[in-house]
Chain A
Amino acid sequence: MLTIENLAFGFPGRTVGRDVSFALDAGEVMCVLGPNGGGKTTLFRTVLGLLARHAGAIRLEGQAIETLSRPEIARRVGYVPQGHTGYFAFTVREFVLMGRTAHLGIFSAPGKKDLAVVSRVLDSLGIAQLADQPVTEISGGERQLALVARALAQEPQLLVLDEPTASLDFGNQVRVLQRISALAGSGMSILFSSHDPDHAFLCARRALLLAEGRVLEIGAPRAVIRSDTLQRLYGVSVQVIDLGGGGHTCLPAVGR
């Protein structure tokens, strides 16, 4: 689905990261871990073609990203940015309908078919009851789900989520991770970032550890998320505990 080779990325005139290579198959979930300012968001924006790559190649289903138009990219890749509050008071339904834009002609407005897609997506995320509420007046967790819904309305094959669990309470974090697993089960590829290494254990097939814009390790979570790599990544000592039955969790050492 997604192939990245020797990618160098960053802002115009400032390279943030380089030598990033990986491939993501259909139905595969990859979690990107790394410290604040480590380049996760910049990497994602580059993968989406929102920032020009500095070197290397990005291919979606074998096609180089620079040969694809914005709507062509939008029909393949859905993006869930870190939510914020500066929106106009669109209703959740109107907001999610915006996900249909890449499927519409330039002068057209969404029709019955698009409304049906939106209803289905809202149902699948369990937020159908929010449809007529303004996005400005729902909780942070609900808004995060609305952003996921909008990306799903794009009917993409790849979903890129930038810290989808940030600012969510524990229950909503788990719900988002459950949704990620379920979507992957239906064949969607998923690339997401998180501040919690446990999230990689919970639902990712692979983890990519990004430090100062370079790949520190990439592989199965239990192989790459270790005390030494977490120490490198975050500069704190962490114990990785085997819970038996395949489960793992990270326990930071906090002195008393």
Chain B
Amino acid sequence: MNSRTLSYVLSAGALVGLTALAFAVGRYPVSLNELFSVLFGQSVSPNVETVVLQVRGPRVLAALVVGAALAAAGTAYQGMFRNPLVSPDILGVSTGAALGAVLGIFLSLNVILIQLFAFAGGLVAVGLVYFIGSRLRGHDPLLALVLTGVVIGTLLGSAIALLKYLADPYNQLPAITYWLLGSLAAITPRDLGTAAPLALLGLAPMLLLRWRMNLLALPDDEARALGVDTRKLRTLVVAAATLMTAAAVAVSGIIGWVGLLIPHAARLLVGPDFGRLLPLAMLLGAAFLLAVDTLCRTIATIEVPPGVLTALIGTPFFLWLFALARRSW
């Protein structure tokens, strides 16, 4: 077995193991026997069934979906921007989603509308960045996009700050803070039912175009000279990655590091070919976020926000990877 195959097998194995573990541990421990009984429809105590199907099930699945989606979007963006330090947020999807959610909380809307605002905010922010960025002619198209993303992101950030300042400090402000830190605690099966299909919709073009995605990592002129309409392909990739990220962020809040760290680690394992990279990044992203979320709900009596934990794990791990890797990515 070569090292690439080994990477897939080990990641898939880790994912399965972590999933079983995630179901088992928590305030109400569930044994593997009980877990299998529930999954195969045998009778168990109603408590166990509720914990597995209603409480932990959606949360575990959400961690898998959100982790995989963030990692896939990050993989696409790192290739497209020819930069391994790029995260899915680079065009403002997270900031836009945050503004949408914060606005929803500020207006005291219900959960469904807050999620809808977050989702729409992400799409609108990236749409705006893309619209402005692609009209700045005479610059490298990618540079124009990134700079527009930074500028618009700052603007949206100020809008969030303003809303936080104006928000009711006893009621709304904690809710805003909680959302901005990200959490999978409140995930319902309904959230999952909306987010997962949207994420899959974003994944489809990436899977279908996996060969062409490689050419986006070349300088624009070279890709075009090789027969790729880079403008169209880039638009499609931005749309797909934004859809995936916005769907994930709308239900989980902002969870940083997954989309930056995981594609980078996966590239070190199997190289830059997108067709090989994407599945591994998704496996690793799902496993990583599930591990983090499981820790979040078990290490302390209160829930630790996953965004804090991903940063705590991510920072040293990233620096280590960076020191380890030679020039090549």
Chain A residues with CB under 8 Å of chain B are: 11-13, 45, 48, 50, 69-71, 73-75, 77-79, 81, 84, 86-91, 94, 98-99, 101-102, 104, 106-110, 134, 136-137, 150, 154
Contacts and interface: CB of A to CB of B under 8 A. Distances in A.
Contact of A98 (B214, B271, B328): B214
B82 A88 contact: yes
A45 B225 CA distance: 9
Contact of A70 (B79, B209, B218, B224): B224
Given A89-B328, A99-B226, A101-B227, 11 more contacts: A11-B138, A50-B221, A69-B229, A81-B222, A84-B219, A89-B272, A91-B271, A98-B214, A98-B226, A101-B212, A134-B328
B221 A88 contact: no
B212 to A, nearest CB: 7
A126 B304 CA distance: 58
B82 A86 contact: yes
A36 to B, nearest CB: 19
B82 A101 contact: no
Interface string B189-222: 0000000000000000000111110110111011
Nearest to A162: B221
Secondary structure dominating the interface of B: loop
B273 interface: yes
A150 B314 CA distance: 38
A11 B137 CA distance: 10
Contacts, number: 87
A70 B272 contact: no
A69 B225 CA distance: 11
Interface of B: 79, 82, 137-138, 208-212, 214-215, 217-219, 221-222, 224-229, 267, 271-273, 275, 327-329
B219 A90 contact: no
A134 B221 CA distance: 21
Contacts of A69: 229
21 contacts: A12-B137, A12-B138, A13-B138, A45-B221, A73-B225, A73-B227, A74-B227, A75-B227, A77-B225, A78-B225, A88-B217, A88-B267, A88-B329, A90-B271, A94-B273, A101-B212, A101-B227, A109-B275, A134-B328, A136-B327, A137-B328
Contacts of B329: 88-89
Contact of B226 (A13, A45, A74, A134): A74
A70 B227 contact: yes
A69 B219 CA distance: 19
For the complex of A and B, the 6 pairs showing the least CB-CB separation, nearest first, are: A102-B227, A74-B227, A88-B272, A89-B328, A79-B225, A71-B227
Given A50-B221, A109-B275, A90 B227 contact: no
A201 to B, nearest CB: 28
B211 A109 contact: yes
B228 A70 contact: yes
Contacts of B272: 88-90
Nearest to B205: A107
A98 B210 CA distance: 12
Of residues B215, B222, B225, which shows the largest number of chain A Cβ atoms within 10 Å of its Cβ? B225
B317 to A, nearest CB: 20
B328 A136 contact: yes
Given A71-B227, A107-B209, A136-B327, A90 B214 contact: yes
Contacts of B271: 89-91, 94, 134
Contacts of B209: 106-107
A98 B215 contact: yes
